[in-house]
Amino acid sequence: MSDNIYARLENVSLSYGDKHVLDGINLDIVKGAITCLIGLSGAGKSTVLRLLNGLRTPTSGRVYVEGVDIATLHKKELVKLRQQIGFAFQFSALFDSLSIYDNVALPLRENTSLSEPEIHTLVETLLSTVGLEQSAQALPSELSGGMLKRAGFARAVIAHPAMVLYDEPTTGLDPIITRLLTDIIRNLQIRDKSTAVVVSHDLESIYAMADYIAMLYDGKIIAYGTVAEIHSSTNPFVMQFIHGEIEGPIHVG
């Protein structure tokens, strides 16, 4: 694997019983870049994220992270790998009984030997970065959807992981908050010089943050390239999807 590739899916297929979710996909995740995954609902985008951090195991094929086939890792090695991969879940997955501060501090308390004063400095700085400095002691139930997303982002990146996975970070949010979250994802990636993989349906947000885009359809990656390359694609499936057209090869209904 070349030095500029952080992770790779190589001829990966995944099935749940008779349902084939992924069918022999190949995908390189470029180090230090943001790769966005697009496609219809149920296309397997979120499954790719779970393959990248070992939450799912492929039915066939290989998943490499930093050149290591993660299927060969023992449990302790996989746990260690996951400490280098932040995951911002679609519904934030914060602990309801913990304050926002304690949710964000949790990875540092569990996986580092930092002192509480050191943790406090890091958490307070990051909460300020994502605009939640006034909500540190609030419970998740007291926050809006956009604020919960930002808190989830903060927890995912607090330990400066090498790769961050974002699952539907802007779904259901208004355009202003969507732009705010898009800017935060890009700014955090620049701050940490990290690699990011983002699953999203929001094309405007994707165009604003992506370095590379991969489109999944029918279990396969049917297009991959820069924003400009995807936007100018002549693939009829890609054209129909990015232009939101009813008529085309993608069956609607």
What is the per-residue DSSP string for 81-133?
A: HHTTEEEE-TT----TTS-HHHHHHHHHHHH----HHHHHHHHHHHHHHTT-G
Q: What is the mean pLDDT of residues 126-138?
A: 93
pLDDT(142) > 90: yes
Residue 1 — pLDDT band, cuts 50, 70, 90?
Answer: low
Give tens-digit pLDDT for 24-40. Answer: 999 999 999 999 999 98
Q: Check: CATH 3.40.50.300 for 34-53+84-243?
A: yes
pLDDT(163) > 90: yes
Q: Residues, the chain, total?
A: 253
The pLDDT assigned to 52 comes to: 95
pLDDT(192) > 70: yes
Structure-block tokens of residue 220: 């396969």
Count of CA atoms in the C-beta half-sphere (13 A) of 69: 9
Q: 196 has which bridge partners? A: 34, 164
Per domain, the residue ranges of the chain are: 34-53+84-243
Question: What CA–CA distance (Å, rounded) separates 18 from 20?
Answer: 6
The pLDDT assigned to 247 comes to: 87
**pTM of full prediction above 0.85:** yes
The pLDDT assigned to 237 comes to: 92
The pLDDT assigned to 182 comes to: 92
Least confident segment among 56-65, 77-86, 133-142: 77-86
Please give the span between the terminal C-alpha atoms of the chain, in angstroms, as a whole number: 41
Question: What CA–CA distance (Å, rounded) separates 127 from 202?
Answer: 25
Q: What is the mean pLDDT of residues 152-180?
A: 90
Spatial neighbors of 248 by CB under 8 A, at least 6 apart, are 236, 237, 239, 240
The pLDDT assigned to 30 comes to: 96
pLDDT(93) > 90: no
